[in-house]
Amino acid sequence: MGFDKRTQRFGGTTLLERNAAVLRQVFPRLAISLRAGASAGLVPAGFEVVYDESPGAPLAGIVSALAHFGEPIFVLAGDMAFAERAAVKEVVEAFADVDVALPVVGGHYEPLHAVYGPGCMAPMRAMLARDDHTIPHLYRQVRLAEVPFASAALFFNLNTPADLEEANRRLESEGRTSGVRRPALVCAVGKSGSGKTTLLEALIPELRDLGLRVGAVKHDAHQFDIDVPGKDSWRLGQAGAEAYLVDSPARLAFISRLAEPARLADLVVRFFAGFDIVVVEGHKLQAPYKVEIFRRAAGHDRPLCAPGEALAMVTDLEVEHENVFALDEAARLARFLAERLDQLRRY
């Protein structure tokens, strides 16, 4: 690129921040590997800095990080454009009774999207001593877990301006608005009293059991206020702040005045970047994909959605629909949605 690729803006953020957002979803401790003497000015908040013990990056960076942490580490190339939480977790979970776990695509290794254990340190240092910086040469000397991937798309690196153009084309074609893929979005709809909240209470844990990071939105058609009159945060709003945030070690809340109703898609993209799926209670008019719950005990004689409008129906009645689920089939509904995440991201 001719400059520090970590600063390259891609889909609204820098490569460094884009990858930091992915890693924060998986790991409690994060570090950035820098060559000795390099500036640490670009390091995101919460990252430790590990300087190379000797020249020969990235092999020297891996050795230095192993020495710093003293336990297995996940290594991610800083210029990788499309890293995703699910792929990271798949590689991490393959690290068992081995020294290295990494993706393999068509016989090709991805050494900078991999887990390295302390057992790699001695052979790596021996390689550096003989000026051998080729990471795959290590794999003949250690216990290796290969994780097969069908496509190399997740491991695309930005090395040239042409690579950046190609990556931006992929962002547009795959419905991404930033370096992090936008979440899937589906709304539970139904007439009043049909059981939308009950359905989502059952669905959310089933989606989580499938390894998905789940967000939720509750639509309230009426006025509401989550701030308590008299509290300090309320007083800041009364003083004229257009928006204010209340944070604690475990939770945060963002309160903003709206000149006009916010669009559901904009809210999801803004507040749930990096999530796999967001489930919404209500929002029928703005819902790109709907799952309707239609229940006998609710006393309604016909569904809320017109024929063909709902992606699926959850009901205890006989209805004509190609995707029908019983009231107690939250697990099957979760699998149905998980199989369609790419479709549900297009909104």
Nearest to 45, CA basis, from 66, 62, 33, 31: 31
* Residues 344 and 337: beta-carbon distance below 8 Å: yes
Most confident of 139-153, 165-179, 281-295: 139-153
Under 8 Å CB-to-CB from 161, ≥6 apart: which residues? 1
Question: Residue 23 corresponds to which tokens in the numbers above?
Answer: 């890693």
- Cα-to-chain-centroid distance, residue 47: 19
Reply yes or no on whether the pLDDT at 206 is more than 50. yes
CA distances from residue 121 to 71, 76, 150, 204, 282 in whole angstroms, order as listed: 11, 18, 30, 42, 54
Backbone dihedral angles phi then psi of residue 289, each to the nearest 5 degrees: -140, 130
The predicted structure's pLDDT at residue 258: 65
pLDDT digits (tens, 9 = 90+) for 295-319: 887 777 788 888 888 899 998 888 8
The C-alpha atoms of residue 171 and residue 179 are separated, in whole angstroms, by 8
How sure is the predictor about 282, in pLDDT bands with cuts at 50, 70 and 90?
A: confident
Q: What percentage of the chain reaches a pLDDT higher than 70?
A: 84
Kindly state the average pLDDT of the residues 152-159. Answer: 86
Opening angle at CA 93, ends 92 and 97, nearest 5 = 95
Nearest to 138 by CA among 150, 148, 128: 128
Tens digit of each residue's pLDDT (9 = 90 or more) over 42-75: 677 778 888 888 876 789 999 999 999 999 999 9
How does residue 178 score in pLDDT terms, banded at 50, 70 and 90?
Answer: very low
- Distance of alpha carbon 143 from alpha carbon 95, whole angstroms: 10
Question: Mean pLDDT over all residues of the chain?
Answer: 83
C-alpha–C-alpha distance, residues 166 and 157, integer Å: 10
Helical segments of 46-158, H only: 59-69, 85-93, 121-129
Given a cut of 80, whether residue 122 has pLDDT beyond it is yes
Three-state secondary-structure class, residue 87:
helix
| Nearest alpha-carbon partner for 154 in 100, 186, 185, 113 | 113
Tell me the domains of the chain and their CATH numbers. 5-173 (3.90.550.10), 184-344 (3.40.50.300)
Q: How many other C-beta atoms lie within 10 A of the C-beta of residue 51?
A: 16
Task: Write the CB contacts of 64 (distance below 8 Å, at least 6 apart in sequence).
Answer: 33, 50, 51, 52, 53
Comparing CA positions, the residue from 342, 210, 344, 227 lying closest to residue 280 is: 344
Give the separation between CA 139 and CA 262, rounded to whole angstroms.
Answer: 52
pLDDT digits 0-9 by tens, 234-270: 676 676 666 666 666 776 677 766 667 667 877 787 7
Question: In angstroms, rounded to a whole number, what is the distance separating the alpha carbons of residues 127 and 321?
Answer: 62
Strand ranges for 90-181 from DSSP E: 100-105, 108-109, 113-116, 144-148
Rounded distance between C-alpha atoms, residue 296 and residue 317, angstroms: 7
Dist. CA 86–CA 26, nearest whole Å? 9
